[in-house]
Structure 1
């Protein structure tokens, strides 16, 4: 009984830390939470399904704070939804067929490149940019969101950071507004879809979910609050640090 209580407290603490970081920096809950679930004894497929379902609470916690701040653009939300959900479904449906070590190493390299790219451009995402996107550019934007959706459904770790940087670089959002869209659309809807698809395989570890969900709700709200209060520069730095740490973590896990 005491061991089970300690396990639930540990799960809650892991969820608070992972989701607060994710809500502040625009992605990365999987950097802490997914490996922790694996280290605590869950096989990869079960850990991924449980992590995704618990991460839906991150979107709920962040949504309450960001909707109060009116920081969401309905057009961008709809685009992320329509472009990403088919990719999430495909990725979650095929996750067990992927060569996991190779895919994880590739994702680690890509995530590292995100942090380095942002760090080398000090003004990136510091202010809103008015971007006049033609039809061809919009199709490219949608195609990349679809590809990120496939990554979200299959590997989970890093996909939120990809969405955040893509919204900043391609669509001209500031980092705090990009983070808001990522948390709600990816954390709430993409992860919910992935959890639903994986849940049908019976991989969700239900007894661990209550502590993870409570921790995700608390962490999501706290991280979103800090993101709105601290301003663009600190959010950008947090994004870059987390991208670099996540990239290194994924590379190490692939060895």
Structure 2
């Protein structure tokens, strides 16, 4: 069991590292937990608990470097919490296969903008109020699924870039704050329903804590161009995995 927890700790570091850079670390940790034979609902809830470590580690660095746009962070947190309340109910009561397909479709819709618009995520721009409102509504929808199905940060980051005009690093930092808030509300609900394996979750938490800090540090050091490259690669891998799973 000790060796198993050490491996989970290492997986947590890798997951947190990728998550802080490109927002898809949950795809690594969730896949590994399912490979260990942990039931899907327990896997998703435990991964969400571990993901709080990523949030703390990465946010510590992003706040220190002043990368968060607080006006958007608070706004998105509100819609994220609403989404997480619906999402927590879905995890407890509804099959997840259909929702996975919806995520795959959303990736296909977002992909052309990410890959073919060179300025995407590299420069900041002013956006209209109508665009921000639509972005909030779309963020709410994705937060419903992201509240339990980890590894979807690359989608929420894309929404923040496209609808709120932020660079990829600021979008990641700003969205991560919102993610942390609505994830906490989801974790509380999962805990009340006994869905979290705390022994595994604690190992995952500390791994993601370290990985999240290191990933945020490297992202800031390398800059938007490098982060976008990693982001693009992660999206390709994630789209294939989600659509084929």
Is the contact between residue 48 and residue 148 of structure 2 (CA under 8 Å) also seen in structure 1?
no
Residue 128 of structure 1 deviates from its aligned partner by: 1.3
CA distance in 2, matches of 1:185, 1:178: 11
CA distance in 1, matches of 2:102, 2:135: 21
Q: Deviations over 1:149-185 (max 9, x none)?
A: 1111243332x11211111111110011011112232
- 2:145 paired residue among 143, 151, 164: 151
Is the contact between residue 27 and residue 150 of structure 2 (CA under 8 Å) also seen in structure 1?
no
CA distance in 2, matches of 1:101, 1:180: 30
Q: Deviations over 1:131-154 (max 9, x none)?
A: 2x23x3332222112112111124
Residue 112 of structure 1 deviates from its aligned partner by: 4.5
Is the contact between residue 45 and residue 148 of structure 2 (CA under 8 Å) also seen in structure 1?
no
- 1:102 paired residue among 73, 77, 98: 98
Report what 1:231 is aligned to. Answer: 223
Q: Which runs of 5+ in 1 are unaligned?
A: none
- 2:171 paired residue among 178, 182, 199: 178
Is the contact between residue 8 and residue 200 of structure 2 (CA under 8 Å) also seen in structure 1?
yes
CA distance in 1, matches of 2:149, 2:35: 17
Partner SS state of residue 170, structure 1: helix
Q: Which runs of 5+ in 2 are unaligned?
A: none
Q: Is residue 198 of structure 2 the alignment partner of residue 206 of structure 1?
A: yes
Partner SS state of residue 31, structure 2: helix
TM-score (norm 2): 0.94
Q: Is residue 116 of structure 2 the alignment partner of residue 120 of structure 1?
A: yes
Please list, as runs of the form range in 1=range in 2, the aligned pairs for 1:1-255 lying within 5 A after superposition. Answer: 4-25=1-22, 27-131=23-127, 133-134=128-129, 136-158=130-152, 160-186=153-179, 188-253=180-245
Residue 116 of structure 1 deviates from its aligned partner by: 4.3
Instruction: Give structure 1 regions of 4+ aligned residues with deviation exceeding 6 angstroms.
Output: none
Residue 63 of structure 1 deviates from its aligned partner by: 1.1
Matched length:
245
Is the contact between residue 121 and residue 166 of structure 2 (CA under 8 Å) also seen in structure 1?
yes
The CA RMSD measured in Å over matched residues stands at 1.5
